[in-house]
Amino acid sequence: MAQIHLEVVTPTGPVISDDVDIVTAPGVGGEFGVLANHAPFLSTIKTGTLSFTKDKQVKYLMVSGGFSEVSNNKITFLVESAEFGKDIDVNRAMLAKERAEKRLAQAQQAAEKINRVRAEAALQRAMARLKAAEKARS
Amino acid sequence: MPGLKDVKDKITGVKKTAQITKAMNMVASAKLRGAQDKMESFRPYAEKFAGTMSELSAGMEDANLPLMEIRDVKTVEIVIVTSDRGLCGSFNSNIVKVVEKLVKQYESEGKTVSIVTVGKKGAQAFKKSGKLRKSYDDIMGTFQIFNAREISQDITETFLIGESDQVDIVYGKFHSVAVQKPEREQLLPIKPVENDAESAQEQNGATGSYIYEPDPNEIMEVLLPLYLNVQVYHAMLEVGASEHAARMTAMDNATNACKDMIDELTQLYNKARQAAVTGELMDIVGGAAALKG
């Protein structure tokens, strides 16, 4: 099967650079899949789970905001953070989720827009982490 | 002439100082390596980002994006990135000097200036000016991209509600281990990426034009805040590396100064010792002569 080169780059360095069969990513307009020799494509990425298949094995990554670019049979993700599902500390993510929920509840009372937005983003990240970790385990 | 013991104590003291400065020099050089690695791993991200930005702006029609809006400048916000700790020569004071000059310049143009500092040294310098709006202390040692995100979100917020019409950033750029210079850049409104629109189009021509999802303007709207993060993070990385490089040089100078001082003091000590020995000899000779006589 023809393969596509996947690269995930974060500000702290590249996370993965490998030839894979299929990539599924959380685009802003919905999830999308990319196979080999895809047409040039540019999309923004929201916080969520990215998965790719190689040698019939599926791997999951948690990614937070950024964008992806497909060109020349190569897909590049530029995201602010990316973690492999199997490396995620579930307990920490759970705590972060609870913290974010609490903050969100407080922010809603105080009607502070900035804090609410931030808490929402934190909650999304925590949930994406948990989801990626869960998928990697199952 | 100082007493023998005084000089000897002083030599011991200076030697201890030299030990400390030498250790600090070595710690700084180890940390510099770490900071440079951090910069190195950020480079691919930043380069890719800039590439896509210029490609995008080539394929974009004029859009009224709030982050690129050029307004009449009444209030300028200056973000100053310095180190948290001192003992790194004139590194921080150079940055502060540049900012002070900038403040004067803006004020002479009738603009109001507010200041946001990253790193304790900048905050200390501007605490009494009354212009300090916010300071981020104690993050320079272990900062991550999310620290940069917090800062850029904050300055974006003030820009969007109109409390600032322009945002500058001043930081110590790392040119080499020996040279670090303060640098000023404009953060907001974001200037359109000066592209080589032609080369971007050429690339597009080679690969066929992109499918955008959502359309380029909307992508740009998502990308601009991220771009701001990239710039703030970049400035922090530069300061991180510069700080350690500056400290290395400063501590090297200090160690050398200590060595010179030790040499001088040792000479003084030897002279004093010689004088004491001579004095004692004179006494003995004089005493012997008196007995004989």
B35: domain range?
27-248
Give the residue from A44, A69, A75, A120 with the most B CB atoms within 10 Å of its CB, the best one to mutate: A44
Residue B115: closest CA among B143, B88, B82, B91: B82
Judged by a CB distance cut-off of 8 A, whether residue A114 touches chain B is yes
Closest alpha carbon within chain B to A114: B157
**Amino acid letter at B156?**
T
Contact A14 B44 (CB under 8 A): yes
Residue B205: pLDDT over 50 = no
Contact B214 A67 (CB under 8 A): no
DSSP state of B177: S
Number of separate domains in chain B: 1
DSSP E strand boundaries for B19-149: 75-81, 112-118, 132-136
Token reading at B237: 């990385």
Judged by a CB distance cut-off of 8 A, whether residue A113 touches chain B is no
Model confidence over B35-89: pLDDT tens digits? 999 998 998 898 888 888 877 777 666 667 888 888 889 999 999 999 998 899 8
Residue B79 in domain = yes
User: In chain A, what are the domain boundaries?
Assistant: 4-86, 89-137
Residue A129: closest CA among A49, A53, A68, A17: A49
Residue B175 in domain = yes
What is the average pLDDT score of chain B?
87
A-B CB pairs within 8 A amount to 87
Q: Average pLDDT by consecutive 10-residue portion of chain A (138 residues)?
A: 91 91 91 91 90 91 90 91 87 88 79 73 86 81
Model confidence over B269-279: pLDDT tens digits? 999 899 989 99
Judged by a CB distance cut-off of 8 A, whether residue B233 touches chain A is yes
Residue B171 in domain = yes
Residue B244 and residue A42: Cα distance in Å, rounded? 39
Residue B287 in domain = no
Binning pLDDT at 50, 70 and 90, where does residue B206 land? very low
CATH code of the domain in which B53 resides = 3.40.1380.10
ipTM summary value: 0.79
Residue B219 in domain = yes
DSSP E strand boundaries for chain B: 75-81, 112-118, 132-136, 166-174, 180-188, 211-213
CATH (one of 3.40.50.300, 2.40.110.10, 2.60.15.10, 2.40.50.140) for A4-86: 2.60.15.10
Distance from CA of A138 to the nearest CA of B (A): 30
How would DSSP label each residue in B256-284? HHHHHHHHHHHHHHHHHHHHHHHHHHHHH
pLDDT at residue A112, as a whole number: 66
Judged by a CB distance cut-off of 8 A, whether residue B144 touches chain A is yes
Distance from CA of B264 to the nearest CA of A (A): 49
Which residues of B are tagged catalytic?
A: 88
Residue B180 in domain = yes
Binning pLDDT at 50, 70 and 90, where does residue B221 land? confident
pLDDT at residue B59, as a whole number: 65
Which of A10, A65, A69 minimises the CB distance to B45?
A10
Judged by a CB distance cut-off of 8 A, whether residue A111 touches chain B is no
Mean pLDDT value across residues B183-205: 67
Its CATH architecture, for the domain A89-137, is Up-down Bundle (1.20)
Judged by a CB distance cut-off of 8 A, whether residue A106 touches chain B is no
